């Protein structure tokens, strides 16, 4: 695939490269990154042709947005996404997930006024005057408020031209499908639910989006690690992978190895075969990881490999493949 092909999101004028850079890792996800490495990672992705970047206030409690702003300010032709739903307040968010203190901590807030304030605060941290995509971030337990308070705020921001596309990002498909039926969304970020190991998004969200012309961005294509490195200590959905998942990922890796193709290339490219999927977003924390993601996205995968995955019972024959 061409990882730098520009494709439109829904009926908006916003376009994204087929490969996007997820900016959670540069917020110090699990291990510290630091400003210099974070900026170098974004610069490496940019230099190789990535033009779509996805951040959030939650990522390092503001660190990711601030670092993204430093790296991306002054660069033209960038598509930038951030999120609302968690307002940052003074505090300390450093914990087992976020390893670098930022002086702030997130609190849930899907109120209309709160969403507008979060949008302004994000622009301040980024040092920019607009973002292209604004996601409702993990509204799973706040759907009523997200629909009645947050969504009207996003729609008005789109009408004002302050954002280009209204979106929501979640790691489940059922609630996103409910949101799709409002007719107000241009795209969605679906994390970990349309991958080699989990195609649950195919049951509801992807067909609904295809019918409505809503674009889907797939995140979590490695299911938080197991499809990048199916070792004994692999993680699946941010937990230790159960034995049956490890066994399946290893079996997939063995099929890939017979064709001389890394499993992570197959995992990265698989979602893009579905007609509703516009892009995949891959987390990158260093210049080396950015280079690897680009290489995996551009690698030519022989059709026989997909056939062998099906033949081995590791992939449903009805699934679209590249």
Q: Which residues carry out catalysis?
A: 59
Q: Which two tokens stand for residue 233?
A: 């200590």
CA-to-CA distance for 73 and 292, rounded, in angstroms? Answer: 24
Residue 150: name the closest of 87, 92, 106, 102 by CA.
87
With the CA atoms of 145, 176, 185 and 146 taken in that order, what torsion angle do they form, in degrees rounded to the nearest 10? Answer: 10
CA-to-CA distance for 91 and 176, rounded, in angstroms? Answer: 31
Burial class (CB in 10 A: 0-12, 13-18, 19+), 71: buried
Cβ–Cβ < 8 Å for 281, 22: yes
CA-to-CA distance for 170 and 5, rounded, in angstroms? Answer: 25
CA-to-CA distance for 286 and 292, rounded, in angstroms? Answer: 10
CB atoms within 10 A of CB 177: 18
CA-to-CA distance for 260 and 284, rounded, in angstroms? Answer: 24
Phi and psi, residue 3, nearest 5°: -70, -10
Cβ–Cβ < 8 Å for 196, 271: no
Kindly state the DSSP code that residue 225 receives in the 8-state scheme: G
CA-to-CA distance for 118 and 187, rounded, in angstroms? Answer: 20
Q: Which residue has the tokens 């938080």?
A: 224
For residue 25, the SS3 value is: helix
Strand pairing partners for 46?
none
CA-to-CA distance for 67 and 27, rounded, in angstroms? Answer: 8
């Amino acid at each position: 695939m061409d990882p730098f092909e520009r494709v439109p999101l829904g009926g908006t004028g916003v376009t994204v490269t087929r490969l996007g850079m997820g900016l959670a890792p540069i917020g110090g996800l699990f291990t510290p990154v630091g400003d210099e490495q974070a900026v170098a990672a974004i610069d490496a992705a940019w230099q190789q042709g990535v033009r779509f970047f996805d951040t959030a206030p939650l990522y390092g409690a503001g660190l990711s947005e601030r670092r993204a702003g430093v790296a991306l300010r002054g660069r033209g032709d960038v598509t930038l996404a951030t999120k609302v739903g968690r307002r940052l307040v003074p505090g300390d968010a450093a914990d087992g997930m976020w390893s670098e203190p930022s002086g702030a901590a997130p609190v849930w807030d899907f109120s209309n006024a709160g969403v507008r304030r979060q949008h302004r605060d994000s622009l301040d941290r980024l040092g920019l005057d607009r973002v292209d995509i604004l996601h409702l971030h993990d509204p799973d337990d706040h759907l009523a408020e997200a629909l009645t308070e947050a969504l009207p705020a996003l729609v008005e921001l789109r009408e004002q031209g302050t954002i280009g596309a209204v979106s929501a990002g979640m790691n489940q498909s059922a609630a996103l499908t409910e949101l799709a039926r409002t007719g107000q969304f241009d795209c969605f970020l679906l994390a970990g639910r349309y991958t080699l190991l989990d195609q649950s998004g195919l049951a509801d969200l992807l067909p609904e989006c295809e019918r409505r012309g809503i674009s889907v961005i797939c995140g979590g294509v490695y299911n938080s690690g197991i499809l990048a490195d199916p070792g004994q200590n692999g993680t699946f959905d941010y937990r230790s992978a159960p034995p049956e998942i490890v066994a399946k990922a290893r079996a997939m890796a063995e099929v890939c190895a017979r064709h001389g193709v890394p499993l992570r290339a197959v995992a990265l490219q698989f979602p893009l075969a579905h007609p509703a999927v516009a892009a995949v977003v891959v987390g990158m924390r260093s210049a080396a990881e950015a280079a690897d993601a680009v290489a995996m996205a551009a690698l030519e995968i022989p059709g026989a490999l997909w056939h062998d995955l099906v033949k081995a019972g590791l992939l449903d024959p009805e699934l679209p493949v590249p």
